[in-house]
């Protein structure tokens, strides 16, 4: 299929993501247009097969089976359907929202009978709780209205089947999980529809000078939707700023240099001069806890599509910054870092320390804000569409690696029935 035709088919599939950018009249018009051959189904504990006319029959119809339990080491199938359709919404809540449980619950989604999942991520991270905190939010893709539930509005098309599974990889049972998976069933899927994928990756101590891979190299055509990133800063760097690294997106054969490059981490999510907490439709900072070194932030490329025809890779440089004297002090203390630039506040005196190496205390170097490669604990969920149901990415890391060295907030309430 030509690239232009594939692009417009994709736009139609993703129309639900474009509400804020589309004309309101057009959006409202679409609400009352008949869709021949399309039917609505919900999979839930009250109707696990999403079948027609068979929901809510237990206890004579009086809320007889509203939730499930997942024993330690076991899986629960939330939805398993055959035929074509599109998942429009996923909602769930659990009684244990501790940081360890949020990382121990694994969400897997399979398309069209594929052997490997297109989505395989820690449940909490997928919904923005990478730092162990689920906060109230409402974004274009995921939401948690009061910080007690998980919502996905990401359109997820399939051609011959869909299977959604949650696995409890913790050492204790998950007593309560409420959920529903809302979908439309249809005779056939659009030939230009991409499959939704999500990939989670963590590096507990990045190597100074080596970028963190938000998304390793993926082959195929598709659309990159964005990422949810969590940074746990290394205390060795004190209160220095960690977010000077640039987002770098390598598209369609890029090797030595990327096509798309940002100017800094907080710049990438639409902020500037540091990063606080804010929730917007397409970018935000869910956690900005400098005292405990915990940060979670996101950027969704909905109004600004990132399209690729052959392959894509997404990196985030690990660069921090501090006044020059503070960086010199860290170097003398043996902190792992590599100075990158000195910025006295005027481009004419800007110094590129990798292109023109010199000791930081060299007399010819000016004073000023000094950027440096650093090492932190970084993890991310990458959201993207691909023209195939499998992506060839590495399997999700084991639960021990996912839950190691968690850094929960100072106080958090997470138990209790929703």
User: pLDDT tens digits, residue range 375-396?
Assistant: 999 999 999 999 999 999 999 9
The per-residue pLDDT for 25 is 64
Inform me whether the pLDDT recorded for 4 exceeds 90: no
Looking at residue 20, what DSSP letter applies?
A: T
The per-residue pLDDT for 11 is 43
What is the spatial distance between Cα 310 and Cα 259, in angstroms, rounded to a whole number?
A: 14
Decide: 341 and 243 in contact? Cβ < 8 Å.
no
> Strand pairing partners for 278?
285
- Four-point Cα dihedral 247, 137, 277, 406, nearest 10: -80
β-bridge pairing 195-203 and 119-122: parallel
User: 20-51, pLDDT tens digit by residue?
Assistant: 444 556 667 778 888 899 999 999 999 999 99
Pick the range with the lowest mean pLDDT from 16-25, 168-177, 354-363. 16-25
The per-residue pLDDT for 38 is 95
Q: What is the pLDDT averaged over residues 362-370?
A: 96
**Minimal CA–CA distance to 134: which of 98, 105, 169?**
98
What is the spatial distance between Cα 17 and Cα 21, in angstroms, rounded to a whole number?
A: 9
Q: Is 80 left (phi over 0), alpha (psi -120 to 50) or beta?
A: beta
The per-residue pLDDT for 32 is 86
The CATH code of domain 3-49+65-318+375-397 reads: 2.60.120.1390
**Minimal CA–CA distance to 235: which of 99, 379, 377?**
377
β-bridge pairing 222-232 and 306-308: antiparallel
The per-residue pLDDT for 163 is 98
Provide the CB-side half-sphere exposure for 206 (13 A, CA).
30
Decide: 12 and 190 in contact? Cβ < 8 Å.
yes
**Minimal CA–CA distance to 54: which of 69, 44, 68, 66?**
44
Sequence-distant (≥ 6) Cβ neighbours of residue 35 within 8 angstroms = 184, 186
Confidence at 411, pLDDT banded by 50, 70, 90 = low
What is the spatial distance between Cα 174 and Cα 72, in angstroms, rounded to a whole number?
A: 7
> Strand pairing partners for 377?
232
Mean pLDDT (the chain) is 93
Inform me whether the pLDDT recorded for 418 exceeds 60: no
| Alpha helices, DSSP H, located in 88-143 | 99-104, 123-126
**Minimal CA–CA distance to 108: which of 100, 99, 118?**
118
**Minimal CA–CA distance to 155: which of 122, 94, 199, 111?**
111
The per-residue pLDDT for 28 is 72
The per-residue pLDDT for 221 is 98
Inform me whether the pLDDT recorded for 245 exceeds 60: yes
What is the spatial distance between Cα 339 and Cα 322, in angstroms, rounded to a whole number?
A: 10
Burial 354-377 (b: 16+ CB within 10 A, else e): eeeeeeeeeeebeebbbbbbbbbb
Inform me whether the pLDDT recorded for 357 exceeds 50: yes
Inform me whether the pLDDT recorded for 131 exceeds 80: yes
Q: What is the pLDDT averaged over residues 226-253?
A: 98
Identify the burial level of 26 via C-beta atoms within 10 angstroms of its C-beta, where 0-12 means exposed, 13-18 middle and 19 or more buried: exposed
**Minimal CA–CA distance to 143: which of 294, 314, 284?**
284
The per-residue pLDDT for 26 is 60
**Minimal CA–CA distance to 202: which of 418, 5, 400?**
400
Inform me whether the pLDDT recorded for 90 exceeds 80: yes
Q: In the chain, which residues fall in CATH 2.60.120.1390?
A: 3-49+65-318+375-397
What is the spatial distance between Cα 35 and Cα 268, in angstroms, rounded to a whole number?
A: 38
3-state secondary structure of 110: strand
Inform me whether the pLDDT recorded for 252 exceeds 90: yes
Percent of the chain beyond pLDDT 90?
A: 89
The per-residue pLDDT for 359 is 94
Looking at residue 365, what DSSP letter applies?
A: S
Give the CA distances from residue 398 to residues 168, 170, 229, 310, 391, in Å, rounded to whole numbers and listed in that order. Answer: 12, 11, 19, 30, 19
Inform me whether the pLDDT recorded for 139 exceeds 90: yes
Identify the burial level of 308 via C-beta atoms within 10 angstroms of its C-beta, where 0-12 means exposed, 13-18 middle and 19 or more buried: buried
Inform me whether the pLDDT recorded for 93 exceeds 70: yes
């Amino acid at each position: 299929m030509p690239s232009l035709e594939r692009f417009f088919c994709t736009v139609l599939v993703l129309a639900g993501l474009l509400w804020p950018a589309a004309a309101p009249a057009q959006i409202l018009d679409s609400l009352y247009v008949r869709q021949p051959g399309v039917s609505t189904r919900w999979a839930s504990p009250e109707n696990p097969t999403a079948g027609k006319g068979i929901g809510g029959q237990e206890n004579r119809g009086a809320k007889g089976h509203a939730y499930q339990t997942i024993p330690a080491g076991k899986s629960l199938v939330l939805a398993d359907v055959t035929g074509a359709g599109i998942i429009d919404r996923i909602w769930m809540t659990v009684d244990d929202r501790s940081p360890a449980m949020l990382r121990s619950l694994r969400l897997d989604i399979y398309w069209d009978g594929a052997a490997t999942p297109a989505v395989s991520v820690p449940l909490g991270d997928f919904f923005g709780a990478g730092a162990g905190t689920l906060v109230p939010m409402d974004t274009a893709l995921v939401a948690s209205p009061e910080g007690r539930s998980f919502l996905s509005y990401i359109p997820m098309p399939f051609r011959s089947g869909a299977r959604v599974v949650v696995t409890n990889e913790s050492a204790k049972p998950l007593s309560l999980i409420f959920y529903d998976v809302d979908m439309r069933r249809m005779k056939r899927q659009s030939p230009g529809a991409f499959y939704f994928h999500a990939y989670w990756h963590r590096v507990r101590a990045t190597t100074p000078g080596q970028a963190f891979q938000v998304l390793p190299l993926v082959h195929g055509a598709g659309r990159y939707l964005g990422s949810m990133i969590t940074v746990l800063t290394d205390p060795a760097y004190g209160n220095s700023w960690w977010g000077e690294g640039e987002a770098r997106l390598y598209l369609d054969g890029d090797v030595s240099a990327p096509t798309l490059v940002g100017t800094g981490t907080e710049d990438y999510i639409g902020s500037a001069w540091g990063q606080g907490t804010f929730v917007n439709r397409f970018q935000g900072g869910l956690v900005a806890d400098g005292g405990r070194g915990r940060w979670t932030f996101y950027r969704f490329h909905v109004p600004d599509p990132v399209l690729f025809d052959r392959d894509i890779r997404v990196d985030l440089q690990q660069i921090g910054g501090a006044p020059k004297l503070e960086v010199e002090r860290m170097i003398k203390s043996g902190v792992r870092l590599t100075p990158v630039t000195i910025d006295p506040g005027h481009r004419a005196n800007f110094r590129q320390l990798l292109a023109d190496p010199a000791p930081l205390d060299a007399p010819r170097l000016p004073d000023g804000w000094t950027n440096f490669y650093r090492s932190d604990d970084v993890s991310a969920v990458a959201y993207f569409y691909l023209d195939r149901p499998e992506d060839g990415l590495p399997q999700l890391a084991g639960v021990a690696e996912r839950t190691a060295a968690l850094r929960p907030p100072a106080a958090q309430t997470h138990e209790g029935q929703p």
